[in-house]
Structure 1
Amino acid sequence: MNTPRPAARTRTRGTVARAATGLLALALVLTGCTSDPLAEQYREGSNKGYVAGDGSVTEIAEADRGAAIEYAGVDENGDTVSSADYAGQVVVVNFWYASCAPCRAEAPDLQKLNEKFGDQGASFLGVNVRDQAANAIAFNDTYKITYPSVIDVDDGGMQLAFSDRIPPNAVPTTLVVDKEGRVAARILGQITAPSILSTLIRDTIAEGK
């Protein structure tokens, strides 16, 4: 039932963690057809409101990234956002929602990196998986977030587009998408070492030069 996944290099804060492999399409995951530990947390039904990632960083070699991911949605300001808008750019895609404690904790670091790489060929895009636009706008005001977020709570289109890279309900998750629209790296859980994400972004920007 599992679809083969690319070979990847995995790094964690201070220790080497096993790369997450064999992720299923979102529909299969939600029906329980997986042994993913994050899916197990999801099915436990804890009251914390999110599934905590383990902090693992998975990098995918260029030759193993597969096809480009196409997506589209509407952001908190009512503007249409699509993968075509980011053609030729590296895109950092962060899955979040306002009441998620790790999402709040990492927000300032994401904004700083957004400012750092804004003129270097990388853009940031949030995907809000639970809130309506008003909540997302309030969050942006509180944490001074300037990049847009697709409001994905109604149809889950963005989550489905990336479903082979993100476990069910694993929030936050941050993906680095290369210039060709393919996932180059993934961080499961809160970004507690911004320098790691900075390195992933810089290395992805440098590809092909």
Structure 2
Amino acid sequence: MSQTIRPIRARSVARGLALAAVVALVATGCSSTADDLAQQYGNGTTENYISGNGTVTEIAPDDRTDPVEFTAETDAGETVSRSDHDGEVVVLNFWYAACPPCRLEAPELEKLNQAYAGKGVEFLGVNVRDQADTSLAFARTFDVTYPSVVDANDGAVQLALAGTIAPNAVPTTIVLDEQGRIAARILGGLDGPGILDTLISDTLAETS
């Protein structure tokens, strides 16, 4: 069956979600001379990042392709595989420390991580540029408690998504269903936690 991608439908007014149709990516080139984490976190600029526009894409269960499979090392030196989380919804957030929208959305991601703790949802950051020390320093600065993969060296997670609904911007957040298949993607920074919360809860509800 060919894969059909559809924009997420607007939810009720109570949920406050009004979602736009898919549009083209906007490439934004910025420069930064930040040499340390304090400057990176405080100057509001980044190096040549491609920022998405917040487009939300949702894939119906019958249209999803094979499970995403990867094995990678976290910034804490632990090995993690997607298959470790069979039976759980996995939220992948692609980011790096000097990316302004990544810093802005970090607290919202952590709030959702805490809200879904013990409910069959696992959050995993995917750092596409930094090494472990920088990734861990970011987590301490922004009180992020879920792990991040250091993907800058071998691109294992990014390669696993190549040819699918890939993370074509930074940040990007991808929701995998309980079988490890791509269920939804937010291309760009979060505008509050509401849309991602809905995508996670809807994916959880598919098998309940």
Tell me the TM-score normalised to structure 2 length. Answer: 0.83
Alignment correspondent of 2:194: 195
Matched with 1:18 is: 21
Deviations 1:10-42 (A, max 9, x none): 46897543336xxxxxxxxxxxxxxxx43x727
Residue 91 of structure 2 is aligned to residue 92 of structure 1: yes
Q: What is the match of residue 79 of structure 2?
A: 80
**2:186 aligned counterpart, secondary structure:** strand
- Per-residue Cα deviation, 1:114-171 (whole angstroms, up to 9, x for no partner): 0000111101000000000000000000011111111000111111111221254x10
Mapped contact 1:178–1:204 kept (Cα < 8 A): yes
Which consecutive unaligned segments of at least 5 residues does structure 2 have? 11-15, 32-45
Q: Secondary structure at the match of 2:203?
A: helix
**Structure 1: runs of 5 or more not aligned:** 21-36
Paired amino acid for 2:22: A
Distance 1:122 1:187 in 2: 17
**Corresponding residue for residue 7 of structure 1:** 5
CA distance in 1, matches of 2:138, 2:118: 24
Count of residue pairs the alignment pairs up: 186
Partner of 2:181: 182
1:83–1:14 CA distance, 2 compared to 1 (3 A) = closer
- Within 5 A, what are the aligned runs for 1:92-171? 92-163=91-162, 164-168=164-168, 170-171=169-170
Check whether the contact 2:5–2:57 (CA below 8 A) recurs between aligned residues: no
The answer to whether the 8 A contact 2:158-2:167 is kept is: no
Q: Counterpart in 2 of 1:57?
A: 56
Mapped partners of 1:96, 1:8: distance in 2: 25
In structure 1, the residue matched to 2:40 is none
Q: Is the 8 A contact 1:11 1:56 kept in 2?
A: no
Supply the AA of the counterpart residue of 2:4: P
Alignment partners' CA distance in 1, 2:198 and 2:136: 29
User: How much is the aligned-residue C-alpha RMSD, in angstroms?
Assistant: 2.0
Match of 1:41 in 2: 27
Runs of 4+ in 1 over 3 A off after TM superposition: 10-16, 45-48
